Structure 1
């Protein structure tokens, strides 16, 4: 269980908060609630990409391929990073792009929502909007993505393990970690 939230002044992040992690880790759910708690806007780079592209990511993948998607994603995240203070949930592969990772690390506080394979499989089951999971067995694909991406995600400023607990518990853990991070990085 996480400690109670501090009384008095709420945590006010000095830079945007960028949530990273694999699909199903809870970046959007936790991000929305965290943004509300911090009193800042919530943005989702996938939703912003779809708005800019005028189609779903799955359609974009089909038409143009992953390299074109990553290029567009890089541009969208760069634009969002230049905007007002916010909580930004990124797509699972965004932080693995060296240029995007460098931009995020230079201008934001990064929070990795780390989850075990079984939880990711459970949370992504039956959802057809995740193009990478359409290329074979989802469990095997997620395990392969974990092996490739978790060492990169480990560069995050803050690491929070997510479980099947209620989202507000995870939000509390992130909030407390941000308060601690802010205290040590004044």
Structure 2
């Protein structure tokens, strides 16, 4: 009986060691793949965020021109909102790119450090708020295109200023991620 137990132990130990080594190698390989995936993700996200930052920088001056035009024509009862918008070059807004974040958030979100995850979530929430405000602004514009009153012009100006504030919040979050990424590189 003792010999059977000894033989069993002698036979099982190499098998157990083999299984444990195989598991360790598999875990090591999975961790390596995850690190490569996250590294590629951050590289792509960084490019996307740099493009978005430039987009915000490029679009904000035209938004400010529209605000200045609304100020300039606010007391002129002969000028319609549509005319002011046309003279200012239209209603421009930046394209906020979150494609890589959206893809990762649906697959391997557990691989992201908490601090970065919190920042990315905040950017996404601000972007959703930005979309909401942009839609409200467009609804207002379409409903008041031919209006000439000071009230409508001031209200549109305030809506644009609020839109810019939210864009700046998105931009601040993006810059925090880019700085955070630069620190950890």
Q: TM-score range by the shorter chain?
A: under 0.3
Structure having the higher helix fraction is 2
Asked which structure has the greater CA Rg, the reply is 2
TM-score by length of 2: 0.27
Higher strand share: 1
Flag the structure with more relative contact order, 1 or 2, with Cα contacts below 8 A and sequence separation at least 6.
1
Q: TM-score, normalised by structure 1?
A: 0.27
